[in-house]
Amino acid sequence: MNRTARASLLFSLLALGSAQARPWQEIKASGVIKIATNAEFKPFTYYEGNTMKGFEYDLGNALAKQLGVKAEWVNQPFDSLLIGLNQDRFDLVISSHGITPERQKAVDFSHPHYCSGGLIVSRIGGPKTGADLKGKTVATQIGTTYVDQIRKILGDRAVRTYPSNAAALQALQAGRVDAVVNEKFYNLAAIKANKGQLQAGDLLFQERIGMAVKKGNTSLLQAVNGALATVMKNGVYAKLSQSYFGQDVRCK
Ligand code: ARG
C-alpha cells in the first residue's frame, strides 16, 4: 500500500470511529426517533409483562408526537446509557438522569423535565436523617448520582452499590445494609408496597432531571426543548404528572 492509500484508509477509519449523531432533520426525515432508557425504574420507565410503561415513557411518546415522529424505545443497563449515546446507538436518552457538571462534560442535557431527589429508606426503627446515617451502610444503584452524594455526605465506606434498585432494596430487607438512598418517587412506591416493613426518611439531596443527546447535537436538543416547552404549556405534561404522582413534578 502506498502512502496516499494508507493515509486515506486511516482517514476513513477515523471517520468511522467518530460517526456523527443524527441531526434533527435526519431523524425527522426517517420518521423515527430512537430513545434509550433503563426500564426498571417504576414509575418512570418499567415493564409490565412485555409492555414498557411509565411517566418518562409517556412523556417521551408525547414529545415524539409533538415533533411528528414515532418513538422507538430500547432498554439498556443504566450505566451504559450515556456511553451508548456517544456511540450513536440511539438519538435520545430519557432515564431520570440528574444534570451534573460531570455528565455535562460527556453529553448535552435538555431543560429539566422534572425535579426530584434522593430519599432515605430504612427498615422500621432504622435511620431516617443524614445524621442518623453516620457510620452506617447505605445501598444504591451503581452509576447513579446517589452513589456520589452518599460518598460526599457519609464517606466512601458507607456506600454499597448494586446493579439494580430492586437488588439494593433486597439488601435492605435482608438486613445486609442499614438504609437505601434512591429516587424519591421510586422509594415511596417501594415503601407503599412493603407497608409495615419499610419507612421513609429525609430527602438527602435534590436534583434536576434532564434528557440527554450526544454532545454537540444542538439541532436535536432544540427540537426536544421546544416540544417539552409545548407539552408543559398545553396541559399534556400536567395531566401525565397528576396521573403518575398526584402532583406536578416540574422544576419550580
Ligand atoms: N437520578 C439518578 C441519577 O441521575 C438515578 C437515575 C436512575 N435511573 C434509572 N432509570 N435507573 O443518577
**Atom number of ligand 1 nearest to Cα 164:** 11
Whole-number Cα distances in Å, 148 to 3, 26, 76, 167, 182 = 49, 37, 21, 18, 12
Distance CA 247, CA 234 (A): 17
Residue 23, amino acid = P
**Atom number of ligand 1 nearest to Cα 97:** 4
How does DSSP assign 105-170, residue by residue? HHEEE-S-SEEEEEEEEEETTS--STTTTTT--EEEETTSHHHHHHHHHH-GGGEEEESSHHHHHH
Distance CA 244, CA 188 (A): 12
Ligand 1 within 6 A of 126 CB? Answer: no
Question: Hunting for cell 448494586 — which residue is that?
Answer: 162
Summarize pLDDT for 217-232 with one digit per residue, the tens: 999 999 999 999 999 9
Q: What SS3 class is residue 47? A: strand
**Average pLDDT value over all residues in the chain:** 92
Ligand 1 within 6 A of 78 CB? Answer: yes
Measured in degrees and rounded to the nearest 5, phi and psi for residue 176 equal -80, -20
Summarize pLDDT for 108-119 with one digit per residue, the tens: 999 999 999 999
Residue 8 confidence class, pLDDT cut points 50, 70, 90: very low
Please name the residue whose Cα sits nearest to atom 6 of ligand 1. 96
Summarize pLDDT for 182-212 with one digit per residue, the tens: 999 999 989 999 989 999 999 999 999 999 9
Residue 129, amino acid = T
Higher pLDDT, residue 14 or 173: 173
Ligand 1 within 6 A of 178 CB? Answer: no
Q: Tell me the best of 183, 205, 207 to mutate to test the pocket of ligand 1, counting ligand atoms within 8 Å of each CB and taking the most.
A: 183
Q: Tell me the best of 59, 73, 96, 162 to mutate to test the pocket of ligand 1, counting ligand atoms within 8 Å of each CB and taking the most.
A: 96
Residue 19 confidence class, pLDDT cut points 50, 70, 90: low
The C-alpha cell at 135 is 457510620
- pLDDT for 12 equals 42
Residue 236, amino acid = V
How does DSSP assign 59-70, residue by residue? HHHHHHHHHT-E
Residue 20 confidence class, pLDDT cut points 50, 70, 90: confident
Ligand 1 within 6 A of 38 CB? Answer: yes
Q: What radius of gyration do the chain's Cα atoms show?
A: 20
**Residues 98, 110: contact at Cβ < 8 Å?**
no
Mean pLDDT across the stretch 38-65? Answer: 97
Please name the residue whose Cα sits nearest to atom 12 of ligand 1. 144
Ligand 1 within 6 A of 144 CB? Answer: yes
Q: Is the pLDDT of residue 157 over 60?
A: yes
